[in-house]
Amino acid sequence: MSAVVKLSHVNKSFGPLQVLRDVSFEVNRGEVVAVIGQSGSGKSTALRCMNALETIQGGEIEVCGHKVHSDKLDRRALRRDVGIVFQSYNLFPHLTVEQNIMLAPTCVKKLPKGEARDIAHRCLSDVGLAEKAGSYPEQLSGGQQQRVAIARSLAMQPKVMLFDEVTSALDPQLTGEVLKVIEDLARNGMTMILVTHEMAFARKVANTVIYMNQGVVWETGPAALLDDPQTPELRGFVGTGL
């Protein structure tokens, strides 16, 4: 298996506050990695660094062959290969669902509108929303909007998908809708890194679990790690039922 994401001794600070401390891990092609930890442990910051949304102060990050830490990084090329979905859907309210999804393929990839429209409809079908192409975001539930956000990332045909707490603003029923889409992506071999509080879901779909604590990769291992934590910190975290 070949690593498509590599973090080596990554350090990141916001002013005097160091939020990532010598973080290193690799993600292989087709692997699903769940990153867990308390709020403020650095997990979302690590994810944002992988897509060059944050700049690191030390170490190296390589994603899909792009040296993210380099001053010469082509951000546009990186984001063609790496999709990211946040807990807030960030859909344009004045555009239909179809138009939201077509935007990046036409503007970034310069695809013809007809081809972009075909891709949009295929991606909507993949997330179970084929009938919502002409709807506006305000006409959709939160779970549907999040699924559109996932479809929008998929339309760029990324090699890696990053998910940052994508269900944290949703009620349990809508959470289930979104997690099913992610589970289908995992089944189809998409390389994914999920920052999540959904422990049952992490157990079900993750090949690897990374537990972060105080900006450090504290424990890492297969999903079974959640049933047999090796440190008191992870035992305490899992024991809270989060």
CATH class of 3-239: alpha beta
Buried b (16+ CB within 10 A) or exposed e, 122-158: ebbebbebeebbeebbeebebbbbbbbbbbbbbbbeb
Q: What is the C-alpha to C-alpha distance for residues 79 and 75, in angstroms, rounded to an integer?
A: 6
Q: What is the C-alpha to C-alpha distance for residues 110 and 103, in angstroms, rounded to an integer?
A: 10
The pair of three-digit structure tokens given for residue 77, joined into one six-digit string? 């090329």
pLDDT of residue 240: 62
DSSP-assigned beta bridge partners for residue 23 = 10
Close Cβ partners of 2 (under 8 Å, ≥ 6 residues apart): 28, 29
* CA separation, residue 132 to residues 51, 64, 89, 144, 237 (Å): 29, 32, 16, 9, 39
Q: What is the C-alpha to C-alpha distance for residues 12 and 60, in angstroms, rounded to an integer?
A: 11
Q: Where are the domains of the chain?
A: 3-239
Specify the pTM: 0.92
The pair of three-digit structure tokens given for residue 63, joined into one six-digit string? 């994603």
Q: What is the C-alpha to C-alpha distance for residues 190 and 202, in angstroms, rounded to an integer?
A: 15
Q: What is the C-alpha to C-alpha distance for residues 43 and 33, in angstroms, rounded to an integer?
A: 12
**For the sheet containing 3-14, what is the strand order?**
17-28, 3-14, 58-63, 66-67
CB 52 within 8 A of CB 75: yes
Angle ∠(80,203,198) on CA atoms, nearest 5: 70
Q: What is the C-alpha to C-alpha distance for residues 33 and 222, in angstroms, rounded to an integer?
A: 9
- Number of helices and strands (H, E) in the chain? 8, 10
pLDDT of residue 167: 86
Q: pLDDT by residue for the chain (242 residues), tens digit each?
A: 579 999 999 999 999 999 999 999 999 999 999 999 999 999 999 999 999 999 999 999 999 999 999 999 999 899 889 999 988 888 999 999 999 999 999 988 899 999 999 999 999 999 999 999 999 999 999 999 999 999 999 999 999 999 998 888 788 888 888 888 999 999 899 999 999 988 888 888 899 999 999 999 999 999 999 999 999 999 999 886 54
